[in-house]
Amino acid sequence: MKSLKAESHYLSDSNSQLKVLNEAEGFKFPDFKEKLKKSGLYPLHPTGIEIFQMNIGKMCNQVCKHCHVDAGPDRKEIMTRDTMEKCLEVLHNPSITTVDLTGGAPEMNPDFNWLVEQINVLRKKIIVRCNLTIIVSNPKYYQLPDFYKNNNVEVISSLPFYTSSRTDSQRGNGVFDKSIEALKRLNAVGYGKEGSGFILNLVYNPAGAFLPGDQVGLEREFKKELKGKFSIEFNNLFTITNLPISRYLDFLIRSGNYENYMEKLVNSYNPSAAKNVMCRNTLSIGWDGYLYDCDFNQMLELKVNSTHQHIDDFNWELKEREIVTNQHCYGCTAGAGSSCGGATT
């Protein structure tokens, strides 16, 4: 598979995606802002900036069917060290407690190790969103489990399911077996082991056009199956709803599921989930230094509602901004809610 961008697909353009979300033929779902108003949550404002989420590149060793980043080996967008240094200046502020590194495969950025070490010096909690297969894909990455451990990194990894058929159908042939091998290597250095202090969390998102099941029940199921079949241990399972963006939006349209899926999201709107959306305590930084309310807004190029839209002119007035919303936000507010840390209610 190639990325949508490499194929010059119309959905590789953020404006085209927004047009689909807001002008779908034959189906007009309620404006998300009106839902917020009825819940007494509009306009939506941050509660602070506690989590600093950095997308340090769209390059990835995988091309997953559901990827909202449209990441892949053919994506060359990479955060420079200069931009990283600007981010590190902001990170000196004690109100930011967590740095969340994502991609693509963030490890493919040539300055990844340097960045992690610099953040560790600042005594911040570091999260790396690892696709697992990167650990076993090339000898240059074999040291990642030890590197994570030495720098107190919390690892969050996607695993669509505990069987090869469902995982490979979403992420590519052979991905499941490579993921299992990577999890074993992480376990071998202590990750996911009770009492070790080295956190390994997994992420589940549905393969089809439906919402994730109960997070607690799925975590219990995953732990039983992975432990019983592969002797693999992990700490928590996060369920994340697929948002109608990029490749997943393309899948919904091609499979004829777009309208039904959006109806599910709209009808499952939960005011409690809306109150706890991740954009309220998170700031998302793109590979090029532009600022967004969340990773999903970043992929739709919906920059923060502020005169300070780039890390070069970061200002703490951003804490007072109005959060930018659009129709895709139904995904984070449906059912039990969805965030980069799983269910929100």
Three-state SS string over 73-125 comes to CCCCCECCHHHHHHHHHHCCCCCCCEEEEECCCHHHCCCHHHHHHHHHHCCCE
pLDDT band of 25, cuts 50, 70, 90:
low
Q: What is the mean pLDDT of the chain?
A: 96
What does the pLDDT look like over 205-249, one tens digit per residue? 998 899 999 999 999 999 999 999 999 999 999 999 999 999 999
What does the pLDDT look like over 155-197, one tens digit per residue? 999 999 999 999 988 888 999 999 999 999 999 999 999 999 9
**pLDDT for position 93:** 97
When pLDDT is averaged across residues 72-100 and rounded to a whole number, the result is 98
57's tokens:
């590149």
Class (C level, CATH) for 10-331: alpha beta
When pLDDT is averaged across residues 139-157 and rounded to a whole number, the result is 98
β-bridge mates for residue 129, sequence order: 156
CA distance 326 to 308: 20
Helix, strand, coil share of the chain (percent; to 5): 40, 15, 45
**Half-sphere exposure (CA, 13 Å, Cβ side) for 234?**
31
When pLDDT is averaged across residues 193-202 and rounded to a whole number, the result is 97
β-bridge mates for residue 55, sequence order: 102
Instruction: Give backbone dihedrals phi and psi of 242, rounded to 5 degrees, phi first.
Output: -70, 125
CA distance 7 to 37: 39
15's tokens:
């404006």
- Domain residue spans in the chain? 10-331
CA distance 120 to 122: 5
Neighbours of 47 (CB within 10 A): 11
Nearest in space to 258 (alpha carbons), one of 275, 269, 244, 273: 244
Burial (CB count <10 Å: 0-12, 13-18, 19+), residue 175: buried
When pLDDT is averaged across residues 65-87 and rounded to a whole number, the result is 97
Residue 117 and residue 151 in contact, taking contact as beta carbons nearer than 8 Å: yes
CA distance 269 to 333: 5
What does the pLDDT look like over 281-310, one tens digit per residue? 999 999 999 999 999 999 999 999 999 999
